[in-house]
Chain A
């Protein structure tokens, strides 16, 4: 088999043993890699109904089909487990050298079972698996851990995916970091922490055989050339943080815990300001000719030297959403998250919930007592210094940080139960996951895409805001087209997340980002890698199958129609300023759009999947378990 090794590595943390599972070629054709293959491995290996922190919830890593090949932006892998945030599928992607090393080590995927008795660093050295004691790594940050492992192994080519102190402390939204990139969402770091798994390190020395190297090189060369041109200059020059002003001008920039969509301090936390005053270097993932990550630094003041990569989602969550208009605080906050290994989006949004709860006088200063502040401190919007204290308390689960480390859903439920309040109304979450930085009150299609997302509301899994913002539809109104739009957007994204390819490449095939512009070239890339003969409709099926296996997983975990929801605020609490003022997505509108979406998917009105739909996708065993 070309492009793959045909092998999945299983590792048992409890018994300290490993074994190899061979998969047939047909399995690879269906699930390809990335989030689809990782979710399929969850389907096969997770005990239904288990707790996310139980031994029965394995870590499933699935490599990309193009990792280690010349295909640009193909150096990515998928990571999946049952999410401690949502109780449903938790799937994330990360890029760079770890994926390439794993491919060179000869593994298409890794499934890590059970719980270790001691903290462990798994070392996959080609065919050999070593369980290394990780005690000396405890307390180290994510980047620091990677470096320490290289030193311990005396090999600077070893690549590691690690957790930091947040993962060790099981902050529910802790993440997994490799090569400065994160599998950021849904709490993988907490799952690793629950298993006492500090890091997975890989040394790979094998080659990767592809079916038609000449064609693959030629295609890759052409795409690389395009990827260094104007189609990607916006990513290269400013990165995604340019969206701060874009969203602000459209009235969609989450501000002060999503209470408004226009931030008066947006200029000072914009990508443009960051570029001029804080950016120090532009970083690229391995195998990427675009280079979008703006490494940014605090250059003076109490946080001088704090440095990390800044992306829009982290920036909105820890800037405008906290009412903070000083990038020194924002960079510091994101660096606390990145170095300690937690999702900066969920962290920022949880802090904004706490700020609003404080300003509504439900929390008081006393709630924020900690070692450095025995009398506590106030937590108002705009107070960057206090926000940094809280971020560090979350990382360490100190004082109220332990509650906030659980995310907005559990934190609000706990406080409401204790104090008889209704803080859940401003807890910005759906399915337990905090949403993206596009306010869905002014983006009706994205509201639908966010509500039906299998991992919760997510801009990466559903780019339904595209049709809203580009004017394909009236973004303030609901109509009968929205189900199809949300389905198309989700399945389109799922193709990229399954290969996986970074979506920033999507205009570099033909100049057009739609299916017709991308699928023929993507098909050629897959066929040149594997020797298969996939057609246009087969590429469509990759996306459809990826969404379906994730939904099937959720159904098996007890998903019901009412789980496809939105934060209360988006449905009941209109903004008062800017172009999107006055709008909400009402419950009636949402239910109508969900009907349209389920119909477009061919699912039942209750959102369940008919058996024939699953059989058509070649998922007979799934049909047997959850098909209706």
Chain B
């Protein structure tokens, strides 16, 4: 983006209506700033993915393989036969338009190809041409078109302007889920060697080192120990978290983003403090050091491969079950895919909280519990000593991450926890939370710098709702339960709603935890004073 595009300029530039040119005649231009950088050939080679090559989306010639049309046709047919969702969704859309203004990328850009039904038409028009009688006979009149290289470019642009958030699917009278369409579109592009660096690099890293960021085991341990240093400074308590410990009761897995960058790191500190506080018999793993799964944004095979490590490690270490940290898409994978792909986890036990004795019946088969469920249960049973006033400088609202809300329904648990660990909580408007939540604009592997303008536009509806509570209730903290959110929301807030910090649920929890033997807390987990200076003065 042009760096100095001002917020009001972006809003002003949102197209008020579609152009007069029919969409099929609008050639989508690939220009610097509107595309993600492609994967490097060596990454694709390492992953064994087809057609690795040096290329740039900005080039006229994308160096597609000789028989690229045939590859797409075959790949499309294969997927139509493997997924009822794809076939049904290709057939039944009536283009009623209910989905149109539900997409954050459409709302932030006004680009009609970002309307979910039109995004699907990008693929559906080829489906009609290749697989339906009417499409073959009537051609353009039936809304079909022949695949061209320009269409491949169009797919690349628009299937990477969808964050698979599924908001459109809530409003669709048939539940047509654009995430399914986008996934298939991306898989087809992968067959031609077209994929993006920001997804494939984490996939390759995760394959080799166990986490997206490529953190090697010794470094992973070192990072966690740094957190413990900070915790010691803040609380006066030394925590010594176990790594790769055989025979622990619980394996804890969270996205590596939380180990890597602020403000996720504070959430990680919160986890460590919680486990110490309740004396949990757990272990971290350096091999399964990633809860996130960029395979979800790649292909079902890749997703399965990366996810398999959790169960493999749980089995090797002999734990009873797995506890999962705060992450959005990780929980879509755990809730909707893990048992199917990598189960049955019959070597594990039905999860039971060692502190409260609660049996997590809802995780009976996958044997994996969400930290928000786990903590909500602890609080409900009064097992945590909490001082919510330590979060008093924070006026909090909660951003439902797309996947936990629309692919799981984890709505009340995090709210229950947050309301118990801080005193000031306000909801954003109803049409922007829970199942109606807006994406951060950077989900599904789009959290990359080069498309910052697209991300800011996609994140605008979310930011706008935050702005509303920021102005109305002085909200200064946006809590979330997703590592991608914690990476994507801070720049979004800085741009649209300066003065709002982004935090994880467990960071707020860590602040509020009254730990046995701790020193008088002066600092929060960010090493900042618990109270703003002004406040302190008025207190005195």
Q: Do A and B actually bind?
A: no
